[in-house]
Structure 1
């Protein structure tokens, strides 16, 4: 039946499906505002969606919005990789499920693509400020149940993480999405578990990047690559993300720029000004100054 529906209406149905999957609920006005359609057209879209997937949503007359049911199964197939990129860039439309325009541009593949339903539950928890119970498999202790309070999904260039308060260690940490095998929504978190209390996430630190002093023969080329001004690139990043960026860009973080190899084209010049940043431990050549 979907094949016989107009492209425009399939877009609206995919948006309803997307909101139910990732937000757990949708107002009729959300659809009307997103697509600038009339009230009657919006009502027809919800009625058609319910006809196609009667067990996917239920209407709460008190809150005046549609909620995802326990029997929810997506009406459309949402591509996990595209959806994660859209969520990371705040493009929440679900249109990839009906065939986005494809451009001949490719990017390196990540290690693995997380389960779309795991991602959806975590996003629901973040948007509604809920804790979650998960089954997480770590390198050190194997599979075990953990309670987390997630607040952000992070792309480190190789794989996806969820940034969350971990009730086991009583600290904010990163958890690899593909190592999470089950997510159950729990109650509201404590104040100390919210993103506002994540110091490494809230703290912005400056990174002063310059062409590598030994590995680059023509630094002007590197200056052009990174849009440097006065032979340097100064960027502010979250302390929790700094190590990921430095490792992704192969930035030499040694004291005097001593890493050898053509892959090290940048050097972190202001490493001495960075203090107490746990994430920097994964950056190439970084050691704590004594």
Structure 2
């Protein structure tokens, strides 16, 4: 076989998440997948951190930057949280990603680990659907200086502290004042993130091809504060008016403690993530299966 992707980087979940989710990927499963890739004519490299945690020293290992510069494809074994982390890091390099689902939901890691070979073999030969997902670029500004900078694929969330009451937030869009909100927090979600925290807080599902994002208040004091869909070229600014041990997080992985007067700015990143899916993949099929909708006729 003459594979479309000559050099393939293999990632796995190498430590338990602080937020729960899938368990670490067994070394035996990674070894089996690596050997399958080799039989398909691919050269396999491991993420360096994965190699250190699994002891799979028979394969070459590279850090993420080198993988981005040298590899044609990244294969991620784990849940959506694992894919989010790898996707953010590889987005600047334009490396496409394929997800093998080891977790519970798998909205973006959509190939079941049982029977992955049947789905993966034709994809390595060039039979796949390509899906681009936008990223957000968020910053925390304090007294005019940037104290935190991160990309997010799912969402940026401003939350009240665990033992505090509501926070008061001032929201601006493209420099224009929109509202002051008293609530438990606010979610700014991409279409990819519309199936995550934003959905549980009452936000809409957004097709990934929509160039927009959604602002979803968490338990707002005023019930007329509803989810708001925005065009993604807009810049959203959130100012913490009252300090109640609030924090900002980015894809539920990167955390920043906030102080009164801090501003969180969110704009579209110049980078996007390239996902590859099996031929015939459809977003609505994913929703139907993962959300347990009636299959219909």
Fold agreement, TM-score > 0.5: no
**In proportion to residue count, which structure has more strand?**
2
Q: TM-score, normalised by structure 2?
A: 0.28
Q: TM-score, normalised by structure 1?
A: 0.28
Identify the structure with bigger relative contact order (alpha carbons < 8 Å, sequence gap 6+).
2
